[in-house]
Amino acid sequence: MTRMPAPIVSPTPAAPAPDGPDKITVKGLEFYYGDFHALTDVTVPIKSTAVTAFIGPSGCGKSTFIRCFNRMNDLIPGTRLEGKVTLDGQDIYAPGVDPVDLRRRVGMIFQQPNPFPMSIYDNVAFGPRLHGITKKSELDDLVRDSLDRANLWKEVKDILGRGGLTLSGGQQQRLCIARVLAVQPEVLLMDEPCSAIDPTSVQKIEDLMAVLKESITIIIVTHNMQQAARVSDFTAFFLQEVAGEAAVLVEYDRTTNVFTSPRDKRTEDYITGRFG
């Protein structure tokens, strides 16, 4: 058994992002699905305008945790959350906070590309229209700008009227990203956004993340260690040590530290592929 983990990151990692302010803070979070205690005692900051990656074996609660930030778990009956989650210092679970308003600020991309059964244009215009934008010129600009930011404009600019579901999987995923960007979120949650799509699109999504993080706070769940190392500035490693018991946050640090000199033995085992 080697002491040092095999280096997975490229030898010259991107310069670490400066430690920005916290966009989101989580303190003492406990999460339950009915009687099942899924996450316990999670305390972690999410740095502003940076990419934070959540990694860990299947079933350790990464999706559960990422859904806490836009209160998507509210839609699952019987779920319960304790502890405190703040966005810009404001408790998002305080009474009086409308999850509908929260989700405009905190957008989400899912593992399965899920365009609506309507045209490419209407998919992207969906969010702005929800929020009352009806002027054609304004919508046109938003659609174009969002598709551009999602690295999809060049491929679809002549077929905006075509059904969103006629695109390839990778294009569909970028369409979903454009759809979220059109409501101008401050935070972007991505739950395994690249696990069901082609390598070219993965590349394009990683590229757009690098640009987006200048202005948006991004959280990504990924099973791909190389991807986590490539795209993220901070990494959080979750682990459910005993089946049926709550998962914990094992380690949180700058991505370079997590991948080159993890503090916890369990993190080291995971990123060197010894389990999970």
Q: Where are the alpha helices (DSSP H) in 42-166?
A: 62-66, 99-105, 120-130, 136-149, 153-156
Considering only residues 86-115, where is the footprint of another protein by CB under 8 A? Answer: 100-104, 107-108, 110, 112, 114-115
CA pair distance 161, 174, nearest whole angstrom: 16
Cα separations (Å) of 154 from 53, 146, 151, 208? 29, 12, 8, 14
Minimum CB–partner distance for residue 104 and another protein (Å) = 4
- Out of 183, 190, 239, 248, the only residue in the binding site for another protein (CB under 8 A) is 183
- Out of 40, 49, 63, 73, the only residue in the binding site for Mg ion (CB under 5 A) is 63
Cα separations (Å) of 98 from 29, 74, 76, 126, 131? 20, 11, 16, 20, 15
Instruction: Please count the other Cβ atoms lying within 10 Å of the Cβ belonging to residue 195.
Output: 14
Minimum CB–partner distance for residue 63 and Mg ion (Å) = 3
- Give me 58's structure tokens: 């299947």
Which stretches of 173-261 are assigned E, i.e. beta strand?
Answer: 187-191, 217-221, 234-239, 248-254
CA pair distance 35, 188, nearest whole angstrom: 30
64 binds, among ligand ATP, Mg ion, another protein, none (CB under 5 to 8 A by kind): ligand ATP
Q: Which stretch in 61-69, 156-164, 172-180, 250-258 sits in contact with ligand ATP by CB under 6 A?
A: 61-69
Considering only residues 27-56, where is the footprint of ligand ATP by CB under 6 A? Answer: 33, 36, 38, 56
Residues that bind Mg ion (CB under 5 A): 63
Catalog residues that contact another protein under the rule CB under 8 A.
70, 72, 75, 100-104, 107-108, 110, 112, 114-118, 126-127, 130-131, 163, 165-166, 176, 179-180, 183
Binding site for ligand ATP (CB under 6 A): 33, 36, 38, 56, 58-64, 76
